[in-house]
């Protein structure tokens, strides 16, 4: 019955995940605080996994593999006010044996000019943080 916030667009390459700026996410400048973009990126890449056929939560649990963030980058073009609807468009830039890089664009509804854009690089590790190879099954999901 309930409809969870989820990806609404996907062309095989990218996935669009709609969200809204929460009050908690604003700061006294009246716009979304800069660290929250990284949170939105995380929500978007989990959704990308779901669109590709698996749950990131389940991958962590079943294979004891974790996508530990090694690098994050964000360029902020225009601020987002409270309650503004927006989309995080995300895709995989590079998938290697032990690393994966996601790219993101924060888009206003119906526009292709990004309000922000960035990427995150992840290393696949076990529960103790030791690098390992991407679990085969899940790798195939991501390769689509």
User: Which positions are catalytic?
Assistant: 27
Sole window of 61-69, 97-105, 132-140 interacting with a copy of itself (rule: CB under 8 A): 61-69
List, in order, residues 6 or more apart from 125 with CB less than 8 Å away. 65, 66, 68, 131, 132
- Minimum CB separation from a copy of itself for residue 11, in Å? 13
In order of 55, 68, 74, 114, the CA distances from 130 in angstroms are 22, 10, 27, 35
Q: Quick check: 20 binds a copy of itself (CB under 8 A)?
A: yes
Q: Quick check: 73 binds a copy of itself (CB under 8 A)?
A: yes
User: Looking at 54, 82, 132, 139, which residue binds a copy of itself (CB under 8 A)?
Assistant: 82
* Distance (Å, whole) CA 136 – CA 11: 23
Binding residues among 85-124 for a copy of itself as defined by CB under 8 A: 85, 87, 109-110, 120
CB atoms within 10 A of CB 103: 18
Instruction: Tell me, letter by letter, the H, E, C secondary structure of 77-116.
Output: CCCCECCCEEEEEEEEEEECCCEEEEEEEEEECCCCCCCE
Sole window of 52-60, 94-102, 131-139 interacting with a copy of itself (rule: CB under 8 A): 52-60
Residues that bind a copy of itself (CB under 8 A): 1-6, 8-9, 16, 18-20, 22-24, 26-31, 33-36, 38-39, 42-43, 46, 55-57, 66, 68-76, 79, 81-83, 85, 87, 109-110, 120, 129
């Amino acid at each position: 019955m309930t409809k969870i916030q989820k990806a609404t667009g996907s062309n095989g390459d990218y996935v669009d995940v709609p969200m809204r700026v929460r009050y908690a996410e604003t700061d006294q400048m009246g716009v979304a605080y800069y660290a929250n973009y990284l949170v939105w990126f995380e929500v978007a890449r989990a959704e990308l996994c779901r669109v590709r056929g698996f749950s990131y939560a389940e991958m962590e649990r079943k294979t004891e593999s974790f996508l530990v963030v090694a690098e994050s980058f964000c360029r902020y073009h225009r601020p987002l006010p409270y309650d503004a609807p927006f989309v995080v468009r995300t895709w995989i830039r590079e998938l290697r044996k032990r690393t994966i890089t996601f790219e993101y664009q924060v888009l206003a509804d119906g526009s292709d000019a990004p309000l922000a854009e960035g990427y995150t690089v992840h290393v696949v590790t076990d529960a103790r943080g030791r690098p390992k190879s991407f679990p085969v099954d899940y790798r195939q999901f991501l390769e689509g």
